[in-house]
Amino acid sequence: MRIHIGSDHAGFALKESVRAHLEEAGHDVTDVGAYSEDSVDYPLVAEEVGRAVAGGAADMGVLVCGTGLGMAIAANKVDGVRAVQVNTAEFAEMSRRHNDANVVTLAGRSISDDTAFAIVDAFLTTPFEGGRHQRRVDQISALEDSGPKA
């Protein structure tokens, strides 16, 4: 699978571990940085990974910051991205089955390497169920560019 991965400084260490884990599993991984613990702004990284996924250059995205929260907020501003911040493999699985999530964001300051590995493994191997969930995902997509409502 083609995976774009990125982090800010707070997610750098976990991102390095997850990148190695994904490469060992045979994935085609593109690392957009950060490349050190020097401070960087997470929205710029989220945009780059989000655009790769939404534009088709990547099948899935993985983003890591301190909490995963800012990365999810920023990535979800890119049309076509369905980013989820998850702390458990169970929620990673549900985000694929029901939400067809295409970007997972991780809390670099809160979860262990092993938990992160379990999350990305579940995320990358669980299929979308479609059916009634496709209608709901389509409703999410319809919110893009829908403008403010009174």
Side by side, which strands form the sheet with 83-85?
28-31, 2-7, 60-65, 103-107, 83-85
Nearer to ligand RB5, 8 or 100 (CB): 8
Smallest gap from Cβ 92 to ligand RB5, in A, equals: 19
The rounded distance, in Å, linking the Cα atoms of 134 and 17 is: 33
Query: What are the residue numbers of the active site?
Result: 65, 98
Q: Are 80 and 47 in contact (CB under 8 A)?
A: no
Sign for the CA dihedral angle at 26, 60, 52, 9 comes to negative
The residue from 5, 29, 42, 104 that contacts ligand RB5 (CB under 6 A) is: 42
> Which residues ranging from 47 to 86 are in contact with ligand RB5 (CB under 6 A)?
65-67, 69-70
Nearer to ligand RB5, 57 or 69 (CB): 69
Nearer to ligand RB5, 13 or 118 (CB): 13
The residue nearest ligand RB5 at its CB is 70
The rounded distance, in Å, linking the Cα atoms of 86 and 109 is: 13
> Which residues ranging from 7 to 36 are in contact with ligand RB5 (CB under 6 A)?
8, 10
Smallest CA-to-CA distance from 91 within 72, 71, 69, 119 is with 119
Nearer to ligand RB5, 72 or 124 (CB): 72
DSSP secondary structure letter of residue 31: E
Site for ligand RB5 contains 44 (CB under 6 A): no
| Site residues for ligand RB5 per CB under 6 A | 8, 10, 42, 65-67, 69-70
